[in-house]
Amino acid sequence: MFTPIVPPPALQVPVLRRIAGHGSLTTTQRYLHPDVRKITAAGAALSAHFGALRAPRSLPGPVVMTR
């Protein structure tokens, strides 16, 4: 079965493999054509996420005690 497709985001590749009747996940992956814009957006989101994790946390300012 020839299935050149861009799978919807909710469709998992193992499920698509069974629908296509492929015996191997590798066979199914040959026919997948991911959307370059979605890959780029996902990469940017991951970079932003990991950048936020690495960002230095600011320390609280000095406490001034008054009477």
27: nearest Cα among 36, 37, 35, 19: 19
In tens, the pLDDT along 26-57 reads 988 888 877 788 778 888 888 887 776 665 56
More confident of the two residues 62 and 48: 48
Model pLDDT, residue 59: 61
| Rounded Cα gap, residues 57 and 12, in angstroms | 37
Provide the β-strand partners of residue 5.
32
| Rounded Cα gap, residues 32 and 7, in angstroms | 7
Model-level pTM? Answer: 0.43
CB 39 within 8 A of CB 9: no
| Token pair listed for 46 | 């991951």
